[in-house]
Amino acid sequence: MNTFEIYKKKILNLVIENSENFNIDSKVNFDDVVFEIPPQEFNFDLSSNIALILGKRTKQSPIKLANLIKNLLLKNFNDFSEVSIAGPGFINFRFNSKTYQKLILEILKSNYKYGSSSKKNKKYNIEFVSANPTGPMHIGHSRGAIYGDVLANLLKFNGNTVVKEYYINDYGNQIINFTESVFYRLREIKFNEKFVNKKNLYPGNYVVDIAKKILIDAPEINLIDFKKIFPTLSEMSLKYSMILIKNDLKSLGIFHDNFVSEKSLVEKDLVTKSIRYLQDKEFVVEGYLNPPKGEDIKNWKKTKRLIFKSTLFGDDTDRSLQKNDGSWTYFANDIAYHADKVSREYDYLINILGADHTGYIKRISAATSALSENKISLICRVCQLVKLFKNGQPYKMSKRAGDFISVREFLNEVNKDSIRFMMLNRSNDVELDFDFDKVLEKTRENPVFYVQYSYARISSLFRTLNIDANKVFEINQNEFELNPHELNLFRKILDWPKVIEIASVKYEPHRIPFYLYELATLFHSYWSKGNEDPSYKFIIDGKIKNTNTLLIIKLVALTIENGMRILDVSLPTKM
């Protein structure tokens, strides 16, 4: 239930039904009409720019139109205690007591669905993390992992079907280099040889751990000829590397539905089939590409190759599908993967990418458009870098994993709840400063603590009153009145469905922790007011002062529960 959308629809219908009063016809566009909560100092529940929009469209006075709308509302609706016109023509609405009661009961009835959309169910595939399976996850991966996981929870909350997918890049030179690294670690352990200092090998100690596990499984493994043993050793190395990655994901509370292997797509010849499909559509042709910008022409080898005409679909340049030796490029393999996703008939494909993949978006979006005949949208979101700080200074850990900081090390410093909440503390498209000092504080400067603490305080209130928070509360209709703090909380709660809607449409889950922190701040302010002014105390002589207060506090708890469930962050009842 979205109160803003409900009243927008009601009021627009009323205006259209009385169109002759406004000199408008059916062609008038109401898309820019907004219903929202006005600034706190106005002390109203809703505000709309409808008169301003109508005035602009019809070249009439917004003040005159606002008065016409006001009179119509007071004549036809009994929802408001006051309708007021402000500024150049904004209309502000204050609900009456019966409307407050009605809205409170509707929210309580919605319970854990409060805020979710009633729109038709859509099918989403969200591919995220997809780190090369050559080692454990690092901090950069964790931001994209949490963003993708929470986005999936958000879309599910809105009634959509979501498949969370991990694309395993288990084909290519990096897998050869990784397997060779394991090979030399095995020889180091078994024959006491020094690890080879060779370019492109992976030096991290985690490779030693993988080698030890392989020796437990295959103590008699033949380590004489790397090329001969490569197929078997590669499979074993990737198995244990993926176990590391899945354990890292599990420690962050993340579980994927699908793991799709790049190698399996190549072995099924899906690359050739996908390229052939695009050739039949005349989107792939044989030809020559110009040298890349900045490339020394003397070093550029003009080679005939298959080229994807991605400029037909909005890309800056056409893209090569073959290397100089005729083998497929990484992009060609990626086309095969997206062809596989397209064949599974999702309504939307979402790719969560790292900061170094920004330049890849146009070409893969073009490929998806070509493969789906523009029927399936590919949405790409980039998660920017994470910078660690401690004591006001950039913070570096032990880097046991090699040249990066692992998720495991990260979790030794701070808990899962803090990581999940704080990784969404800024929009995904800007760099994030993760301050260890802040997330360990037990103050309002630590957003996750502040939200959890508000819920713990509510829980303590119900414990003190010996009341089951899950029971159905009745409204005291004869003495129903909300004080200013309760009104502010209730108006913020009414904002929740709108936050969910915007976060879902724009794929911006960071709006949820922002909102929860603001709601928690309003609640703590109300709680503290009782220490300053006895008239605002919740409990007098061991009993609740006003039973209607419990309703508002119950709504606060319910909204926090819904938000933290989407974030998959715990809510302790005691702190």
pLDDT in tens, 73-89: 888 889 999 999 988 98
CA-to-CA dists, residue 43 to 197, 271, 551, angstroms? 70, 62, 20
The reported pLDDT for the residue numbered 297 is 63
pLDDT at residue number 30: 81
Kindly tell me if the per-residue pLDDT of 400 is higher than 50: no
519-558 burial: b if 16+ Cβ within 10 Å, else e: bbbbbbebbeeeeeeeebebeeeeebbbebbbbbbbbbbb
Q: What CATH architecture applies to the domain 447-567?
A: Orthogonal Bundle (1.10)
DSSP-derived letter for residue 318 is -
User: Cα dist. 506→73, 276, 352, 390, 503 in Å?
Assistant: 33, 35, 14, 33, 5
State residue 293's pLDDT score: 66
What pLDDT is stored for residue 63 in this prediction?
93
SS3 463: helix
Give CATH 1.10.730.10 domain extents, the chain: 447-567
> What is the reported pLDDT for 119?
65
Write the pLDDT tens digit of every residue in 146-157: 999 999 999 999
pTM: 0.90
Strands 35-36 and 46-48: antiparallel
pLDDT of 243 reads 94
| Mean pLDDT, range 29-35, rounded to an integer | 86
For 155-174, b/e burial (b = at least 16 CB within 10 A) is bebbebebbbbbbbbbbbee
Helices 496-506/139-157 angle, 10° precision: 120
Domain 3-95 indexed as CATH 3.30.1360.70: yes
Of the pLDDT bands very low, low, confident and very high (cuts 50, 70, 90), residue 401 is: very low
Q: How confident is the model at residue 399 (pLDDT cuts 50, 70, 90)?
A: very low
- Residue 114 has which token pair? 């409060």
| pLDDT, averaged across the chain | 89
d(Cα 209, Cα 154) in Å, to the nearest integer? 37
Those residues with Cβ within 8 angstroms of residue 259's Cβ, 6 or more apart along the chain or in another chain: 165, 166, 168, 242
Is 163 a residue whose pLDDT tops 90? yes
414-443 confidence digits (pLDDT tens) = 899 999 999 998 999 888 888 888 888 888
Q: State the span(s) of the chain assigned CATH 3.30.1360.70.
A: 3-95
Torsion of CA 294, 298, 304, 309, to 10 degrees: 10
Q: Give pLDDT tens digits for 448-485.
A: 999 999 999 999 998 988 888 787 667 777 778 889 99
Q: How confident is the model at residue 39 (pLDDT cuts 50, 70, 90)?
A: confident
Backbone dihedral angles phi then psi of residue 198, each to the nearest 5 degrees: -125, 140
Per residue in 243-288, pLDDT (tens digit) is: 999 999 999 999 999 999 999 999 999 999 999 999 999 999 998 8
Token representation of residue 256 = 């994927």
Q: Is the dihedral of CA 213, 218, 220, 226 positive or negative?
A: negative
Predicted local confidence at residue 167, as pLDDT:
95
Position 502 pLDDT exceeds 80: yes
Q: In this structure, what are the phi and psi dihedrals at residue 254, rounded to the nearest 5 degrees?
A: -115, 130
Calpha distance 22→16 (Å, rounded): 9
